[in-house]
Structure 1
Amino acid sequence: MHSRRHFLKVSGMLAALPTLGKTAFAKDKVANRPLVVSTWEHGGPANLAAWKVLSSGGKAIDAVEQGVMIPEADPNVMTVGYGGYPDSEGKVTLDACIMDHKQNCGSVAFLENIKHPIAVARKVMDKTPHVMLVGEGALNFAKSQGFSEENLLTDKAKKLWQTWRKNPTWPPQINIENHDTIGMLAVDERGDLSGACTTSGASFKLRGRVGDSPIIGAGLFVDNDIGAATATGMGELMMKTVGCFSVVEIMRQGASPQEACKEAVERIASKLDDYRQYQVGFLAINKQGDVGAYAIQSGFNYAVQDKSGAQLIDSRSKLA
């Protein structure tokens, strides 16, 4: 049962690649760990919760789950969890995934009325032979695990939806929300990596739309031999390119997290007729605790927490 929970491995394809993964890092470099990073300004409070776990010797998988639950419960973070922007029909639907150092993972999509989809995703990982549950099935599973239904549509979000409905436009402008999905990556003091990603998705999206955030390999990927990556921006582009898997595979070839994020963004941008119309951003770490981030548009930032303290850093970008 445990083996069936593992994300499908690509051993056949990777066997043909150079085995740089465990030798690409300088052996004499002191690892910066524990470490937690997350996307956007609301990653700061999330990192603090994760850091309480990591700094006391806890596991990365517990840290990322506890960390992203902070913005999930904050109605002022309108792209995650409670208070998130509704879909085109005025319903809040949530997506999330989580992945540990053994490539165990769990995911939920199109989940309604549950404040903490990341906790449900963790239950999918720990308690079922599956990777993903969606819609009514995900909700029924959540209730069977003791989660309670509650209304996630706040008055503020409802009013914004009512205003949008008077003159609906799609797609919304680039970075109209500015603060987006939260993706979190951590490495604990043992050197084990984990990640989590959770969102309410694109504002006023078509009913039933699911983006990259709950998709292992697209919105999140972890390889404990190499590193981990998470994404933000237009989810469809990460889904088409398996973006976070690509970032980790570029690191496998010896690239730093920064180099890998930039290369993955450049690959996506090169396939678009006019990349200036889109936003894609990646955040990555490696086993040593090195961090990198890169986006098409400026404005993407990320939060970092380690033994030296907390930082909010503006990502480098293709467009100034």
Structure 2
Amino acid sequence: MQRRKFLKSSTIATAGLISSPILASCKEENKSIISENNREQPIVIATWNVENATSKAWEVLKSGGSSLDAVEQGVMIEEADVKNQSVGKGGRPDRDGNVTLDACIMDSEGNCGAVLCIENIVHPISVARKVMEDTPHVMLAGKGAEQFAYEKGFKKENLLTEKSKQEWLEWKKTAQYKPIVNIENHDTIGMLAIDNNGNISGACTTSGMAYKIAGRVGDSPIIGAGLFVDNEVGGATATGVGEEVVRTVGSFLIVELMRQGKSPQEACEEGVRRIIKKNKNKLNFQIGFIAINKKGETGGYCIQPGFSYRTYSEAGHVNNIPESYIKE
């Protein structure tokens, strides 16, 4: 009798010992689930006040589409808009009169693709995605990238509009080669998105610096410089004078700062400070960073006033004016 009582007591005690960590584990799991559900998602963020682009990306996200589809289709809106002279068709040419485009894309699995100095193709972001998905490579450049695009069914199209051509001819009269801060309050389009599954993707596209030396490539198609995504942490993208972003591997830096515990805003501010530190007494250019973390928190910071970024989530469609290092 005593033995049965002892065994029963031991069983209950043992069950208690076993169940306690299980219960604790369940509580932790539930806590994690609650945390996941509290994320701001879906959400899209893009450099500059590109309302049509973020609206398109949001449409994709709200219909249950992937973040990869959202960022691609979002920036394609700007690539096709001839009024935007810093991206896609209508972009400002190099000093020889040729419009050359750069773009890159990165998904939640760490896959990425890019095209550099591609001509005659309206949507370099879509070619970059084909590089990512249909080749063993990350980057294709120049004529090789263009030929690859034709093989994938992209159509050849003259990218130099009459407006951009006339401005280039006017520029040739003096041929002054210098960056213009916040040209048209528009520049490289970088976009980041989180979908309903919590997956992050990013895209970046540009026609590069106006009247650049033929063959020049900035940060926009360089993974880690103009764009970087880590699905466990967040993503970042840049706009402005690409050479300065390349020198600090800016977007990768910002994601790593978020990995270390900084908020997207804090990380963007530190990214700008790193560039400022390397350019003391010669801050006559613009750099703007935006970032998003896994929770859907966003941030942005820049050197010069005039930069903005747009977000679209259930909270609304907002044009954000971040603080700048140089005050107005």
The answer to whether TM tops 0.5 is yes
The letter for the 2-side match of 1:250 is L
CA distance in 1, matches of 2:245, 2:220: 9
Counterpart check, 1:180 vs 2:180: no
CA distance in 1, matches of 2:183, 2:57: 28
In the alignment, what sits opposite 2:3? none
Alpha-carbon distance, 1:308 to partner: 2.2
What's the Cα RMSD here?
1.4
CA distance in 2, matches of 1:249, 1:275: 27
Conservation of the 8 A alpha-carbon contact between 2:179 and 2:285: no
Q: How does 1:52-71 map to 2 (within 5 A)?
A: 52-71=59-78
> CA separation of 1:164/1:55 partners in 2, compared to 1, >3 Å: closer, same or farther?
same
Counterpart check, 1:274 vs 2:281: yes
CA distance in 1, matches of 2:282, 2:67: 35
Residues 259-280 of structure 1 deviation map (CA, whole Å, 9 limit, x = unaligned):
0000110111011132431211
In the alignment, what sits opposite 1:259? 266
CA distance in 2, matches of 1:200, 1:136: 16
In the alignment, what sits opposite 1:16? none
Q: Which structure is larger by alpha-carbon Rg, 1 or 2?
A: 2
Sequence identity (%):
56
Query: What SS does structure 1 have at the residue aligned with 2:172?
Result: helix
CA distance in 2, matches of 1:191, 1:131: 24
> CA separation of 1:38/1:86 partners in 2, compared to 1, >3 Å: closer, same or farther?
same
Question: Runs of at least 4 residues of structure 1 off by over 6 A?
Answer: none
CA distance in 1, matches of 2:309, 2:211: 25
- Equivalent of residue 170 in structure 2, options 142, 163, 167: 163
- Equivalent of residue 92 in structure 2, options 85, 88, 91: 85
CA distance in 1, matches of 2:117, 2:283: 29
CA distance in 2, matches of 1:163, 1:297: 27
- Equivalent of residue 313 in structure 1, options 296, 299, 320: 320
Conservation of the 8 A alpha-carbon contact between 1:184 and 1:230: yes
In the alignment, what sits opposite 2:308? 301
CA distance in 2, matches of 1:27, 1:74: 39
> CA separation of 1:59/1:226 partners in 2, compared to 1, >3 Å: closer, same or farther?
same
TM-score between the two structures when normalised by the length of structure 2: 0.88
- Equivalent of residue 225 in structure 2, options 218, 225, 242: 218
- Equivalent of residue 209 in structure 1, options 204, 212, 216: 216
Alpha-carbon distance, 1:172 to partner: 3.0
Alpha-carbon distance, 1:178 to partner: 2.6
Conservation of the 8 A alpha-carbon contact between 2:104 and 2:203: yes
- Structure 1: gaps (5+ residues): 1-25
Counterpart check, 1:285 vs 2:302: no
In the alignment, what sits opposite 1:243? 250
Counterpart check, 1:106 vs 2:82: no
- Report how many aligned residue pairs link the two structures: 295
Alpha-carbon distance, 1:315 to partner: 1.5
CA distance in 1, matches of 2:77, 2:263: 30
Conservation of the 8 A alpha-carbon contact between 1:275 and 1:296: no
The letter for the 2-side match of 1:95 is D
The letter for the 2-side match of 1:88 is R
Residues 147-167 of structure 1 deviation map (CA, whole Å, 9 limit, x = unaligned):
010101000000000000001
The letter for the 2-side match of 1:31 is R
In the alignment, what sits opposite 2:46? 38
Residues 163-185 of structure 1 deviation map (CA, whole Å, 9 limit, x = unaligned):
00001111133223431000000
- Structure 2: gaps (5+ residues): 1-33
